[in-house]
Amino acid sequence: MPEPIVGRLVVVGIGLIGGSLALSLKAAAACREVIGVARRRQTCEQAIELGIVDRAEVSLESVLPELGEGDVIFVAVPTLAVQGVFEVLRDRLPAGVTVTDGASVKGSVVEAAGRVWGRLPEFLVPGHPIAGSEQSGVTAARDDLYIAHRVILTPLAETAASHFQRVERMWQAAGAEVLTMPVREHDEVLAATSHLPHVIAYGLVDTLAHDAENENIFRYAAGGFRDFTRIASSDPTMWRDIMLANRDAILAAIDLYSANLSELRGAIATGDSDRLMGIFTRAKAARDHFTKMLAKKAYTENMQEQEVTFIARPGGAVSGSLRVPGDKSMSHRSIMLGSLAEGVTEVEGFLEGEDALATLQAFRDMGVVIEGPDNGRVVIHGVGLHGLQAPPGPLYLGNSGTSMRLLAGLLAGQSFDVTLTGDESLSKRPMNRVADPLREMGAEIGTGPEGRPPLKITGGRQLHGIDYRLPMASAQVKSCVLLAGLYAEGETSTTEPAPTRDHTERMLTGFGYEVQRDGPRASLRGGGRLRGGRIDVPADISSATFFMVAAAIAPGSEVLLEHVGINPTRDGVINILRAMGADIELLNRREVGGEPVADIRVRHAPLAGIRIPEAQVPLAIDEFPALFVAAACAAGKTVLTGAEELRVKESDRIQAMADGLEILGVRAEPTPDGIVIEGAGEGAVFDGGTVDSLGDHRIAMAFAVASLRARDTIRIQNCANVATSFPDFVRLAQRAGMNLAQE
């Protein structure tokens, strides 16, 4: 048996918090003995009877002489009673014993220690388990209270590492996740997130209880009242102590809340429906997603799991009719232009993926009322070109390069300052490509080292139009400059070296904003207006690509992909696959809201390697991971050149694919601006193996498709970001006939 983490655990105050730690450590065999200390004899007896402690005493003093190295005293009494416990310990604490506590306020505990010992003792590890319930007392103790809960430790400069580690390991043994924080920060955070809600809950119930009609009020009080006021059943002594001990931070939180409450009152009094919808939709979104936002993670459920691994079993074929999710590029732009328009914009087919939701959340943070998304339907209450408000903090854009680059343009001409941040992948992506032209227009923009995010945009700068020649084929850069042009004096124009997706130009026109187009040049004049309307977002050809390639490579396949956008600036994948010999038909071609749409039928056919025409590269820029899989299945060599942009996508897609293909036994030679892939032609092409998608959604989905022509299972790591563009991918792939699962 390994040595337990704690020798003797002395729990001073055997209530919910202390008793639950005792039970948890016993269950985990993490301590040798538990001694309880309670003021009342009856509590001691109950604690023994319930198996919470091995023995119990009414006096702490009597327990101390037998303690020594490796033992821990856990002080779990109300905050203001902690000093009294420290006084008992002062001249009697044997060397080597660790003292820790569970009080909700850390500043007052540290001050009490200073008063009692005249210094901050090295054996003291202040702590606070963020767990509990409105129940209290010894009978409420549970052995699973701390599992998957957080415990914040606030070690001091004086705290010895050995004592800190003992307490850290003790809480981990109880199933908790341990974090550390400075004392002051802890008290401010808790004032806002825990102490203020208790003030409000107690206050609300008290207000109603004083009402003469209270009996009726309580009789008819339904779920909302119960949910909201549950914590008003908490232990009054404990909460009185917390209010007194954390006075300043709680007062600051109350003041902030009071200001917000009077704003809400004002909106109700004046019948300001927009303001009410604004407050409520922002709050709902924040509440729905707050854990993920705090974790700086994401906006949809999928991303909660940080580690997602795909298991793609070999073989199979795809068939049936499928509708893949809405176009990512158009979804972003629908929120942006809808927000800046006058009047209401109704969007159908909106992509509820992480990236587009990041854009949506950013506009909510800037005061735009947005209803939904609800099954692809979003209703945006436009605020006009000059109606955005300063967001309360930095805008976090997750994994989404499109959000950051387009927003940079839109925000460069606003009156307020704003900072744009993103996740690890986005934080590595080049932003000078947008910052440079925007500075030329008069914007003030700061970046991180080497032009990486965060972008810090200073408001109040008057922009002027420029005639910008893009150094690379990039729709994001083009769109950024044109969107800044809405706020610039005079004419802004872009000239691109090769055609890139033109959704910005088309959608601006759809919103009634005049855009001149002449070959590679697009231009507009600042100072116009956008008019809200309806937008029908077709299915994303970039998502459809995975099923097009799947059907093309897997014998016996035939799929119909419905209502896919086939804008000529996006159809490179169709041209390239056809050149390789794929059997692709475009059926029912039509135009929807200014964008060409078709149903795409793909049947299996043998493919042959080709030299990919460079002109097709920008038209298929997001489709290469899947096209590389097609190339590996084609007979002969496929050569890609002129595609250096692939190296600065969500990952370095040339390297990431070359590495993965090599693991799966395919010969793939990366070059600075492309790749050469030796296709095998017939039969099973890929070995089984484990590949890393590097958190890049399109790499993950491409390798999943490869399994259709694999000899053995392909495990794909780091797939959580598939939710950025294709939240439902696994289910749809299964429906189509692929043998794909999430581990």
* 3-state SS assignment for residue 656: helix
The question of whether 622 is a catalytic residue gets the answer: yes
- Write out the two tokens for 27: 């269950």
CA angle 729, 570, 454 (to 5 degrees): 70
Closest approach, Cβ 424 to ligand S3P, in A, equals 18
The nearer residue to ligand S3P, 445 or 738, going by C-beta atoms, is: 445
* Residue 491: CB atoms within 10 Å: 15
Q: DSSP letter string over 164-213?
A: HHHHHHHHHHTTPEEEE--HHHHHHHHIIIIIHHHHHHHHHHHHHHHSTT
- Minimum CB separation of residue 582 from ligand S3P in Å reads 22
Quick one: which of 463, 480, 348 has its CA closest to 401?
480
User: Cα–Cα distances in Å, from 488 out to 464, 466, 525?
Assistant: 4, 9, 7
Q: Least CB distance from residue 650 to ligand S3P, whole Å? A: 8
> If you ran DSSP here, which 8-state letter would residue 246 be given?
T
Collapsed DSSP state (helix, strand, coil) of residue 27: helix
Beta carbon of residue 355, minimum distance to ligand S3P (angstroms, whole number) = 8
Nearer to ligand S3P, 241 or 650 (CB): 650
Minimum CB separation from ligand S3P for residue 329, in Å?
3
130-136 long-range contacts (CB < 8 A, ≥24 apart) are 130/194, 131/20, 131/176, 132/16, 132/17, 132/234, 133/16, 134/230, 134/231, 134/232, 134/233, 134/234, 135/16, 135/233, 136/15, 136/16, 136/234, 136/235, 136/238
CA pair distance 205, 208, nearest whole angstrom: 5
89 versus 406: smaller Cβ distance to ligand S3P: 406
Angle between helices 624-633 and 697-706 (to 10 degrees): 20
Q: Provide the binding-site residues for ligand S3P, judged by CB under 6 A.
A: 329, 402, 474-476, 479, 500-501, 621-622, 645
* Nearest approach, Cβ of residue 359 and ligand S3P (Å): 10
Quote the CA–CA distance of 146 and 166 in Å, as a whole number.
Answer: 17
Please pick, among 502, 536, 571, 622, the residue that the annotation labels catalytic: 622
Residue listed under structure tokens 């992948």: 425
Task: For residue 304, give the DSSP letter.
Answer: G
Contact 213, 221 (CB under 8 A): no
What is the C-alpha separation between 634 and 447, in angstroms, rounded?
43
The residue (of 192 and 648) whose beta carbon lies closer to ligand S3P is: 648
Residue 308 CB, shortest distance to ligand S3P, in Å, is 21
Beta bridge partners, 446, equal 456
Distance in Å, CB of 335 to ligand S3P, minimum: 12
What element of type H or E holds 439? helix 432-440
Judge whether 625 and 699 are in contact, CB under 8 Å: yes
Compare residues 282 and 501 and give the one whose CB is closer to ligand S3P: 501
Spatial neighbors of 359 by CB under 8 A, at least 6 apart, are 331, 332, 335, 336, 397, 400, 402, 403, 406, 407
Q: Strand, helix or coil at 640?
A: strand
* CB-nearest residue to ligand S3P: 329
Terminal alpha carbon distance of the chain? 33
What does 662-705 look like in DSSP terms, one character per residue? HHTT--EEEETTEEEEEEE-SS--B--EEEE-TT-HHHHHHHHH
Task: Report, in Å, the least distance between residue 595 CB and ligand S3P.
Answer: 13
Tallying the residues shown for the chain, one arrives at 743
What's the alpha-carbon Rg for the chain, to the nearest Å? Answer: 31
Structure tokens at 168: 């850290």
Residue closer to ligand S3P, measured from CB, 302 or 329? 329
Instruction: Report in angstroms how near the CB of residue 543 gets to ligand S3P at its nearest.
Output: 11
Gap between the Cα atoms of 394 and 422, Å rounded: 10
Rounded to whole angstroms, how far apart are CA atoms 665 and 258? 64
Annotated catalytic sites, by residue? 622
